[in-house]
Amino acid sequence: MALFNYAAKEITLKIVYYGPGLSGKTTNLQHLHSALDPEKTGRLISLATETDRTLFFDFLPVELGKIKDFSVRFQLYTVPGQIKYNLTRKAVLKGADAVVFVADSQRQVMEADIESFANMKENLLSNNINPDNIALVLQYNKRDLPNILTVDELNKILNSGGYIYLEAEAINGKGVKETFQTVTKLLIKDLSGKYKFDIQPPAQHGEAFTAVSDEIIEQPPSSIPLEETPLSSLSQELSEAAAAEEPAQFYQLQQEHVFTEKYKEESEMPKTGEPLRYSSERLDRITESLRENTHMLAGIKSAINELLDELKKSREEQKEVLAILRGIKINEAIERMKEKEKKGWLTK
């Protein structure tokens, strides 16, 4: 859901890139990060493992100017492609304003595309988001590879809802900007309908990439610097947590790191012996971020409780299966004994 910070005059919109493993979600964000104005983009955080290039999510705040008196900030996330991280997928989708589904065009990956698309709709509904009402764009990626499905075949498989779709070669940067522009324009249009913003027609193709519409005018770079802190120690902690199958700990550490990266300002650090001083605007921003993090952590806690319930049910089912197996073995033993007795009687 769109977050309005009236004190800071800022609107924060969340876009989630969804899709099967290695479909090109991370590649999309990497290309966008390099293509957008570096003065208006935050730091791209990408965590990789041996099995999946994006284990949890990439975080990319992008400021694109103003709508009326409000600055616009987009937060871009990806979800992990592996099905075993479904709880994290669900948590990342919480509060999403728009979704880009990145489909792998290769024919042999068709089943994974179908499964991931159905999983996306299921997780949207579990977060009380109607898949038919959210801004959703389909990106048919890897069009440069051999043995790919045609666009008509992909539409038949995935696009029964009549969503906007684009072809892409994310590895070469083709279609990446166009996909981002399309989803942001859809999102701004939805936002203007809900909150009665007067949005002018969008900028023509070839004009500044940062212009979502004529109503969005260029703004100076954000005054909140993102300190370049090495990620090696954080990545090691997160990888260890994931290896120990503790997704909640992994996600919480990532959120804490993002919060630290976003709001650490050297200019506001006091000299030795001086008390901390914060402006009311900065305190409002911190309060809003704490509230958002609290909601996210509450969602993670709920997901963990759900997982524990599933584990409990699984253990109970295992016990029932073991009891059935024991019963079968006992019955088999009795039958063998009866058979032996029967044979012994016949031989007398």
Q: Which fold has domain 3-219?
A: Rossmann fold (3.40.50)
Quickly state the pLDDT bin for 46 (edges 50, 70, 90).
confident
Helix or strand or coil: residue 170?
helix
pLDDT score recorded for residue 47: 66
CA distance 90 to 105: 24
Q: In the chain, where are the structural domains located? A: 3-219, 312-348
Q: What is the pLDDT of residue 44?
A: 81
Confidence of residue 143 (pLDDT cuts 50, 70, 90): very high
- pLDDT (tens digit, 9 = 90+) per residue, 267-319? 444 444 555 555 666 677 777 778 777 877 777 777 788 778 878 887 887 88
The residue among 25, 3, 22, 9 whose CA lies nearest residue 180 is: 25
pTM over 0.75: no
Distance set, CA 119 to CA 20, 93, 126, 307, 325 (Å)? 10, 11, 10, 17, 34
Are 154 and 103 spatial neighbours (Cβ–Cβ below 8 Å)? yes
Lowest mean pLDDT among 64-78, 108-122, 191-205: 191-205
Q: Which amino acid is at 347?
A: T
Mean pLDDT estimate for the chain: 75
Beta strands in 19-97 (DSSP E): 60-67, 70-78
pLDDT band at 87 (very low <50, low <70, confident <90, very high): confident
Q: How far apart are CA 212 and CA 340, in angstroms?
A: 84
Contact call for residues 174 and 35 (beta carbons, < 8 A):
no
Distance CA 196, CA 203 (A): 20
Phi, psi of 12, deg, nearest 5: -110, 125
Give the phi and the psi of residue 65 in degrees, each rounded to 5.
110, -145
How high is the pLDDT of residue 59?
63
Answer with the residue of higher pLDDT: 11 or 16: 16
DSSP code, position 290: H
Distance separating alpha carbons of residues 31 and 41, to the nearest angstrom: 12
Joined tokens for residue 81: 């492609």
pLDDT at 93: 92
pLDDT in tens, 12-21: 899 999 999 9
* Predicted local confidence at residue 50, as pLDDT: 56
